[in-house]
C-alpha cells in the first residue's frame, strides 16, 4: 500500500522555466511533509518542508504547496537551473509515529 | 558532506549469507533511521532508533535487525540474504525524533546479493 505517490517518474524543463513536481498521499493522519533532493551516488538532502497547519512554504527558489482536502502537495522551482537536475522525493510523517514514508521519486532534468 | 558515515560503501555477497552495515551519525545526533532503496523504488523506512532505544518500525523483514550502541553508532544486520535484498541501504540521523528536526543522510551502502 503506497501511502505516498509520485506519479511522474520523470520531468524535463527548460532552464529558467518553472518546474512543478507533484505528490499525492492517502493517509489523512500525515501532518508533516518534506521534499528531498538526491544526486547520483549521494544520499538524499533535505530541501523544504511544510506542516499541515500551513498551505504554503517558501525558501528562495523553492515553494511547497499543500492542499489537504485533495491530499496533494507540489514543489515549485522557479527559475529552474541545470544544477537542479536530480531525483526529488516527497515524504510524509504523522505526529508521534517517528517514521517517514517516502514516494518513489521524480527525476527532474533541467535542460540548458 | 552530511557528517553521516556509512561503511562499507559496497558489499557483494551470496544468497544465504549474513552481513552487517554500519552507520555513524552526525556528532550530537541521537536519532538514527535506516532506509532501503531497491531499484526504481522510493526509500522504504525500516527502523528508527533514538538514544539506543527502538522508536519506530517500518516494513522490516524478520531476517533484518538493528541496534544502536551507547556511542550512538548503529548497525543493520541482514541475514539469510536473498537476491531481492540487493538494494541501497541508507541511514540518516537527526538531533531528535521530532518532525521538525532535519534528517541528514549518509551516502549509502550498496548491497549486491548474487
- B18-37: per-residue pLDDT in tens? 999 999 999 999 999 999 99
Chain B residue whose CA is closest to A88: B42
Inspect the interface and report whether the beta carbons of A43 and B33 lie closer than 8 Å.
Answer: no
Q: Sorting pLDDT into bands at 50, 70 and 90, what band is A14? A: very high
Neighbours of B42 (CB within 10 A): 22
Cβ-based contacts of B33 with chain A (< 8 Å): 99-100
Inspect the interface and report whether the beta carbons of A46 and B102 lie closer than 8 Å.
Answer: yes
So what's the pLDDT on residue B2? 86
So what's the pLDDT on residue A104? 93
Mean pLDDT score across all residues of chain A: 95
Find the largest Cα–Cα distance for chain A. 43
Cell of A35: 521534499
Q: Is the pLDDT of residue B99 over 80?
A: no
Select from B5, B10, B25, B45 the residue whose CB has the most chain A CBs within 10 Å, as the one to mutate to test that interface.
B45
Q: What average pLDDT does this structure show over A63-91?
A: 97
Q: State the Cα angle at B64 between B63 and B68, rounded to 5°.
A: 150
How far is C-alpha A45 from the geometric centre of its chain's CA atoms?
Answer: 12
Which percentage of chain A shows pLDDT scores above 70?
99
Amino acid at each position: 500500500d503506497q501511502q505516498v505517490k509520485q506519479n511522474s517518474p520523470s520531468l524535463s524543463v527548460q532552464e529558467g522555466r518553472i518546474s512543478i513536481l507533484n505528490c499525492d498521499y492517502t493517509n489523512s493522519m500525515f501532518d508533516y511533509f518534506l521534499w528531498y533532493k538526491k544526486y547520483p551516488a549521494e544520499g538524499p538532502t533535505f530541501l523544504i518542508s511544510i506542516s499541515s497547519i500551513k498551505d504554503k512554504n517558501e525558501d528562495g527558489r523553492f515553494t511547497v504547496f499543500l492542499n489537504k482536502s485533495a491530499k496533494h502537495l507540489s514543489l515549485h522551482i522557479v527559475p529552474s537551473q541545470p544544477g537542479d537536475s536530480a531525483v526529488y522525493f516527497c515524504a510524509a510523517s504523522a505526529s508521534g509515529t517517528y517514521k517517514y514514508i517516502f514516494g518513489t521519486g521524480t527525476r527532474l532534468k533541467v535542460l540548458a | 558532506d552530511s557528517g553521516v558515515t556509512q561503511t562499507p560503501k559496497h558489499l557483494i555477497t551470496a544468497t544465504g549469507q549474513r552481513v552487517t552495515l554500519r552507520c555513524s551519525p552526525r556528532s550530537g545526533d541521537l536519532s538514527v533511521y535506516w532506509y532501503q532503496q531497491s531499484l526504481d523504488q522510493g526509500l522504504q523506512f525500516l527502523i528508527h532508533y533514538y538514544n539506543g532505544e527502538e522508536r519506530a518500525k517500518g516494513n522490516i523483514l524478520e531476517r533484518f535487525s538493528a541496534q544502536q550502541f551507547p556511542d550512538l553508532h548503529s548497525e543493520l544486520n541482514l541475514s539469510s540474504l536473498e537476491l531481492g535484498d540487493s538494494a541501497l541501504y541508507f541511514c540518516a540521523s537527526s538531533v531528535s525524533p521530532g518532525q521538525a528536526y532535519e534528517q541528514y543522510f549518509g551516502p549509502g551502502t550498496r548491497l549486491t546479493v548474487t
